[in-house]
Amino acid sequence: MVKVFKFLQVAITLQGRQAGKKVVVIKQLDEGTKERPYPHAIVAGIERYPRKVTKRMGAKKLQSRSKVKPFIKVVNYSHLFPTRYALELESLKGAVTSDTFKEPSQREDAKKTIKKLFEEKYTNGKNKWFFTALRF
């Protein structure tokens, strides 16, 4: 079987609280684990997208509108829709592991690092499609 989900592949969630949000695959587990015997992936996504900015806005307003709220989650492959896009963020590799979900403090630390990486990527102007909400 062809591997559809690769590291840093962008996908869209189809089920659950974050349905319709864009995510990046951080780790894929094709065979599953003992706790989760189905194929799944650890993903990081955007819960709240940055707002529209214009040239007229000041630096303070621009900074507040450029904020991103991330989430991390373990998602079943059948609840993900793959896209043709990929993100160039090699530093995401060590940000989230399977152990991150065991303790809330580790989860918060992982979210903070992901938030910093996403906001940096957004301010650089790369991967514009990833940082815009889907239209329904």
pTM summary value: 0.85
Q: Give pLDDT, residue 82.
A: 92
Distance CA 105, CA 83 (A): 32
Q: In what order do the strands lie in the sheet with 22-29?
A: 69-76, 40-48, 22-29, 9-13, 80-86
Domains and CATH numbers, the chain: 9-131 (2.30.30.770)
Which among 120, 18, 124, 115 is positioned nearest to 73, based on CA atoms? 18
Note the pLDDT of residue 50: 92
The predicted structure's pLDDT at residue 28:
87
Looking at residue 61, what is its pLDDT?
Answer: 93
Which residue in the block uniquely carries the two structure tokens 């659950």?
Answer: 16
Radius of gyration of the chain (CA): 15
| 85-113: pLDDT as tens digits | 988 888 778 788 777 888 889 889 999 99
Phi-psi category of residue 134: left, alpha or beta, with phi > 0 → left and psi -120 to 50 → alpha: beta
Paired tokens of 87: 């993100």
pLDDT for res 33: 81
**Residue-by-residue DSSP string for 1-68:** ------TTEEEEE-SSTTTT-EEEEEEEESS--SS--S-EEEEEEEEEPPPP--TTS-HHHHHHHT--
CA atoms within 13 A on the CB side of 129: 10
Q: Give the chain's residues under pLDDT 50.
A: none
Amino acid identity, position 62 = L
